[in-house]
Amino acid sequence: MLTSNLPLYANMVASGVLIGVIYALIALGLTIVFGVMRVVNFAHGELVVVGMYLGYLMWSAFGLSPIVAMPISAIIMFCAGYLLQTGLINRFIRRPHHVQVILFVGLALCITGLHMIIFGPEARPISSAASFEVVELGFLQLDAVRLYGALAALALIALLLAFLRYSDTGASIRAAADNPIGAAAIGLRVNRVFAITAGIGLACAGAAGTLIAPIFDTQPYLASDMTTMAFVVVIIGGLGSVVGALVGGVLIGISESIAALVINPAMKSMISYGLLIAMLLIRPQGLFGGRQR
Amino acid sequence: MAKQISRRTILKAAAASAVVGAVPIRSWAAESAKIGVILPTSGVFAFPGQQSRKGIEYAALVNKERNGPNMEFIFADTESKPENGRVAAEKLIRQGCTALIGAWDTGATISAAQAVETAKVPLLINIGSAPQITEQGFTQIFRNFASVSSMIASAVTRIHELVTTQKVMPKSAVVLYVNDTFGQSALASLDAIWEKAKVPIKIVDKIGYDVRAKDLSVEVAKAKATGAELVLPITRTNDAIMIVREMVKQKYNPMAIIGPGSPGPYERAFTDALGKFGDDYMICVPWWNPRNPRAKVIAERYEKMEKGNRFELNVGFSFEAVEVMADAVKRAKSNDPAAIHAALKTTNIEDHIMYGGPIRFDEKGQNPNIGVALLQNRDGVPTVVGPQQITMAAPAFPMRPFAGR
């Protein structure tokens, strides 16, 4: 039975890994903002949906494929994040958590409302030629949009890791994350570092949104699912950990695929939440979570 | 001798006129009947909810042009939340609505039905198919839409008619269904009726998925693994798009895809998203009658007015709800809820746009004469291919493989 279904299981695992990498990029945006500023962005899913609409617009207006549109979305969203942080969020950094929650929930509602007004409630699918293509690797049949999306997401994650590890700005971000008061004391412009971090967070959301747009049809109400999924991934991977986001994303992608195949497709989300609860019970800091400040 | 008009007579006449003039002569016809419309115009069902609203507004325009009764429509949004049906109904009744139309979604309709029952205000259901709506003893509701059980029974008849008239007969079928109230009711009805109708095709698996599913690759892979020659999706629009997209990618080419009573794949969103891959898909749903010249004119005018929108099920039944209400208000000669309720009870509209027999309501408020057509997407346009009396083209069966298109 298992042998005869092996290609099916292998395909599902591969599909889970591919979508998991894109989930990781979504979660990375959330975790990096939290890791540096200790601010939980409850509007993260809405920002992913902004990236999806950007991808949809570039495809429908100029015929750009999501892979080509992705860096443009990332740049637009980076600028938006920078401005949002300097204009709004910096004023709330040292406020109580519940005030921050209200700010981000309000922001989320505004973004969804704007999507409804501008684009309407209907789904906006991207149906390019790649939407119906598969790439065959032996007995594996990989969905082309997932494969290209995952590769692009992986490249972006690698680039981001290199930037954080080897650039001066990356070192400043790590310093501000580690000890913002100490960083300020040695002359680091912490608010500027926060703005760059928010820009990176939104760029990840925007890029991931554009990559995922041909897989999940764009609509305003996807946002809450995206936010929840990002939280599940970062909690499993460990809040603030980049590697944790990658591992958590892939884990969720695979578990959803296998659960749908083995248990019941209607209950595939149950496995993600089951994993989340188990993680909170066994290792609350997540797989790669560090010490708590 | 002619009687002279004295100054006193003139004064008396003037005073009498003033008194009569002061008393408002109110005619029901001069006053607008306030009709409340409950729809999910935001939230997950916003797309069909907004389509339904367009149908109501279009019918209101046509009613005005035809010098129909004076009606004012007041809209309330349920935000796709079932519990908001009651809140919306109560709000509209407080605003002076003497009859309601709605609520598209079964849960919201049942919730609204409780409010109209208390207030004794009639509710005309444009869309909402769960059988329990008319089985709970409500006295104020009227449904001009098929219950899911009758819709599925008619759909099974259409499928049976189709497969028995073809040269090749599929042996097995797989059901892919959306796992919500509608999907589960439809699945239960399909199970019961399939057996009863003795359709010579074995249902080999039933695969459910979440109403908010974003990806149906696993579900389609499971369906493909069954080797079923017939795919019966119980869907809405987005999930139907995802199913076909996955079938193309996974090279799953059954003899036919037939949605039994499934809303969605006749929408422009479906045919635009899938292009040639959306063709040959079949759906069994209540539909407008293409053989009725008036229905044809109404549908064509709507599609010209609302570029990018199709005159489909949501628009059609919402349009017809206004026509039924106008007929009732006209016969009631009153804006009183009880009079409108009494008039709705005696509705008998022979010539109407949606396919089926005369619009009449039985003792439970259900119109038992709603017809179900078999549609097939042809060159991106849903075309009636059954039953025989309204068919516009012969069905393409088996469907063309995706790769050869």
Stretch B62-78: mean pLDDT: 95
Dump pLDDT digits (tens) for A185-204. Answer: 888 888 899 999 999 999 99
Strand, helix or coil for residue B204: strand
Q: How far is the CA of A28 from the CAs of A117, A230, A246, in angstroms?
A: 29, 8, 8
Give residue A68's pLDDT.
94
pLDDT for A225 equals 86
Q: Does B248 touch chain A (CB under 8 A)?
A: yes
Instruction: Name residues whose C-beta falls within 8 Å of residue B192's C-beta, 6 or more positions apart in sequence.
Output: none
Residue A70 has pLDDT above 50, yes or no: yes
Mutate to test the interface with A, among B181, B249, B271, B314 (most CBs of A within 10 A): B249
**B39-58 residue pLDDT tens:** 999 877 888 899 999 999 99
Contact state of A134 with B46 under an 8 Å Cβ cutoff: no
- Supply φ then ψ for residue B38, to 5 degrees: -105, 120
pLDDT in tens, A129-157: 788 888 988 888 899 999 999 999 999 99
pLDDT band at A121 (very low <50, low <70, confident <90, very high): confident
Interface of B with A in 163-222 (CB under 8 A): 179, 207-210, 212-219, 221-222
In whole angstroms, give the CA distance from residue B328 to residue B341.
Answer: 8
pLDDT of residue A241: 83
User: Which of the given ranges, A31-40, A100-109, A177-186, has the highest pLDDT on average?
Assistant: A100-109
- B354, pLDDT greater than 90: yes
Whole-model pTM: value is 0.78
* Preferred mutation among A18, A56, A127, A146 to probe B, highest tally of B CBs within 10 A: A127
Higher pLDDT, A4 or A30: A30
A216 touches chain B (CB under 8 A): yes
Contact B219 A125 (CB under 8 A): no
Q: Do domains B33-146+291-370 and B149-288+373-404 have the same CATH topology?
A: yes
Please report, rounded to a whole number, the percentage of residues in chain B having pLDDT higher than 70: 93
Query: Residue B21 pLDDT more than 50?
Result: no
Where along chain B do its domains lie? 33-146+291-370, 149-288+373-404
pLDDT for residue B18: 53
Q: So what's the pLDDT on residue B174?
A: 97
Q: Do A5 and B225 touch (CB under 8 A)?
A: yes
Per mean pLDDT, which range of A126-130, A169-173, B39-43 is the poorest? A126-130
- Summarize pLDDT for A225-262 with one digit per residue, the tens: 899 989 999 999 988 788 888 999 999 999 888 887 78
Query: Taking all residues of chain B, what is their mean pLDDT, rounded to a whole number?
Result: 90
Distance from CA of B358 to the nearest CA of A (A): 34
B277 interfaces chain A, CB cutoff of 8 Å:
yes
Question: When comparing pLDDT for B4 and B150, which is higher?
Answer: B150
CATH class of B149-288+373-404: alpha beta
Distance from CA of A117 to the nearest CA of B (A): 11
More confident residue, A120 or A84: A84
What are the tokens at B171?
Answer: 């042996």
Residues of A (98-117) whose Cβ lies below 8 Å from B: 116
- pLDDT band of residue B392 (cuts 50, 70, 90) is very high
- For residue B321, the one-letter residue type is A
- pLDDT tens profile A5-15: 778 888 889 98
Calculate helix-pair angle for A44-62, A66-87, nearest 10 degrees.
Answer: 140
Option in B47, B219, B237 nearest A260 (CB): B219
SS3 letters across A112-176: HHHHHHHHCCCCECCCCHHHHCEEEECCEEEEHHHHHHHHHHHHHHHHHHHHHHHCHHHHHHHHH
Cα–Cα distance measured from residue B177 to residue B232, given in angstroms and rounded to the nearest whole number: 8
In sequence order, the 6+-apart residues with CB closer than 8 A to the CB of B281 are B240, B244, B257, B259, B265, B270, B376, B377, B399
A15 contacts on B by Cβ (under 8 Å): 217-218
Mean pLDDT of B63-89: 94
The domain made up of B33-146+291-370 has a fold known as Rossmann fold (3.40.50)
| Residues β-bridged to residue B71 | B33
Q: Is the separation of the CB atoms in B124 and B327 below 8 Å?
A: no
Question: What amino acid occupies position A198?
Answer: A
| Residue A28 Cα, gap to closest chain B Cα (Å) | 21
| Torsions phi, psi for B305 (to 5 deg) | -70, -45
Q: For residue A127, what pLDDT is reported?
A: 78
Q: Any residues with CB less than 8 A from the CB of A45 and at least 6 apart, and which?
A: A108, A222, A223, A224, A225, A226, A227, A228, A229, A230
Per-residue model confidence as pLDDT tens digits over B121-136: 999 999 988 888 888 8
- pLDDT reading at B210 higher than 70: yes
User: What is the rounded CA–CA span in Å between residue B117 and residue B110?
Assistant: 11
Q: Could you tell me how far CA A70 lies from the centroid of its own chain?
A: 13
What's the confidence (pLDDT) of residue A219? 87
Cα first-last separation, chain A: 51
